[in-house]
Amino acid sequence: MTTISSVNTFEHVDAVEESKQASWREYLAISKTGIVMSNLITTFAGLYLAAYYTGTTLGADPLNAFLALLGSALIIAGGCALNNYIDRDIDHLMERTKERPTVNGQLTGKQTLTYGLALSIGGTAFLAMTTFVAAVIGVAGLITYVVLYTMWTKRTTTLNTIVGSFAGAVPPLIGWAAIDPGLHPFAWALFLIMFVWQPPHFLALAMKRADEYKAAGIPMLPVVAGFALTKRQIIWYIAALIPVSLFVADFGVVYTTAAILLGGGWLVLGLAGLKMKDDLKWAKHMFIYSLNYLTVMFVLMVIVHMF
């Protein structure tokens, strides 16, 4: 399925796969702990809110909560490692990925594949110890990310961002399903918030790294359609996110007010980009704002249910 890669790129990979002795640091690097931690915030929100709306607490069954978080962390890290395994033929072409352990020879393809599969299987097993539904959702997210996104759409279409958004939106569903496999409508609202948030987040990143994606032959929207169209797309997604974030307006006036203000602030910053001449500076601001938006929103969801 690696349609854009030439034989020469794999010769490059083979050349560096006479590996040095790998340490835990290399394995930690391909686990992408930053991504894992940010996703665990949304997983925890799903867990906490599911407990709240089913009339229980996480303290009533701490082992279940621990298994849900551990399983989620492992399956997400496993997916990231498998992503590194698949992309090792193009990562040396991009500045931000050329020093990955899978590129510089610190980890071989076999080591990376084995590690990624082991984490994924372990994570699935731990999720299955909570509920079957949580495990199914975790596996569905993994397959979407590794196969549908990394192996296929990332290399073939600008719709890759949408496909990847499905995978990125499952952590709160996993958390909720670990407590309530029936999945209350609020669980799906969290999924939708995550799903709509991701395109403007990743399109801003794609603008920042447009030259690298172009060099690697990855058809990200800024590469294929240019910055002007990408900026308009980002603005439309943010405009859609504001009403979507209000699907859970029942969380209270504090949450609702914050959702409107944070979403409105992001939209204003987006619209300002239509007149800014420095597109890369604007994309950087948009990317940072998106990270802060997601963190504040999901932490706030938990806090407003504590009091």
Q: What percent of the chain has pLDDT above 90? A: 82
Domain of residue 30, residue span:
8-183
Residue 30 in this model has a pLDDT that exceeds 50: yes
Supply the pLDDT for residue 41: 96
In a domain, 155, yes or no: yes
Identify whether residues 36 and 130 lie together within a single domain: yes
Identify whether residues 135 and 114 lie together within a single domain: yes
Please tell me the distance from the alpha carbon of residue 303 to that of residue 48, in angstroms, as a whole number: 10
Supply the pLDDT for residue 21: 64
Neighbours of 288 (CB within 10 A): 11
In a domain, 239, yes or no: yes
Supply the pLDDT for residue 3: 41
Identify whether residues 168 and 306 lie together within a single domain: no
Please tell me the distance from the alpha carbon of residue 252 to that of residue 240, in angstroms, as a whole number: 20
Identify whether residues 16 and 150 lie together within a single domain: yes
Residue where a domain stops, chosen among 183, 199, 215: 183
Residue 282 in this model has a pLDDT that exceeds 90: yes
Residue where a domain stops, chosen among 183, 198, 232: 183
In a domain, 12, yes or no: yes
What mean pLDDT do residues 174-196 have?
97
Identify whether residues 112 and 23 lie together within a single domain: yes
What is Dmax (Cα atoms) for the chain?
60
Residue where a domain stops, chosen among 168, 183, 198: 183
Residue 24 in this model has a pLDDT that exceeds 90: no
Structurally, the chain folds into a number of domains equal to: 2
Could you tell me the two tokens for 130?
């909570």
Residue 81 is part of a domain; what is its CATH number? 1.10.357.140
Residue 12 in this model has a pLDDT that exceeds 50: no
Identify whether residues 190 and 151 lie together within a single domain: no
Span 151-184, pLDDT tens digits: 999 999 999 999 999 999 999 999 999 999 999 9
Query: 91: pLDDT confidence band, cut at 50, 70 and 90?
Result: confident
Span 124-160, pLDDT tens digits: 999 999 999 999 999 999 999 999 999 999 999 999 9
In a domain, 273, yes or no: yes
Entry pTM: 0.90
Please tell me the distance from the alpha carbon of residue 47 to that of residue 29, in angstroms, as a whole number: 27
Identify whether residues 195 and 172 lie together within a single domain: no
Supply the pLDDT for residue 20: 55
In a domain, 2, yes or no: no
In a domain, 1, yes or no: no
Residue 98 in this model has a pLDDT that exceeds 50: yes
Distances (CA, A) of 307 to 179, 180, 254, 301, 303: 21, 22, 12, 11, 7
In a domain, 120, yes or no: yes
In a domain, 3, yes or no: no
Please tell me the distance from the alpha carbon of residue 210 to that of residue 218, in angstroms, as a whole number: 9
Identify whether residues 43 and 104 lie together within a single domain: yes
Identify whether residues 139 and 202 lie together within a single domain: no
Give the three-class secondary structure for 165. helix
Distances (CA, A) of 294 to 37, 190, 297: 13, 11, 5
Which of the two residues, 14 and 298, has the higher pLDDT score? 298
Residue 19 in this model has a pLDDT that exceeds 60: no
Could you tell me the two tokens for 251?
């969380």
Residue 15 in this model has a pLDDT that exceeds 60: no
Q: What percent of the chain has pLDDT above 70? A: 93
Supply the pLDDT for residue 307: 86
What mean pLDDT do residues 212-218 have?
92
Distances (CA, A) of 253 to 39, 179, 257, 304: 26, 26, 6, 9
Average pLDDT of the chain is: 91
Identify whether residues 82 and 54 lie together within a single domain: yes
Beta carbons of 30 and 84 less than 8 angstroms apart:
yes
Which of the two residues, 250 and 12, has the higher pLDDT score? 250
Identify whether residues 149 and 234 lie together within a single domain: no
Identify whether residues 124 and 253 lie together within a single domain: no
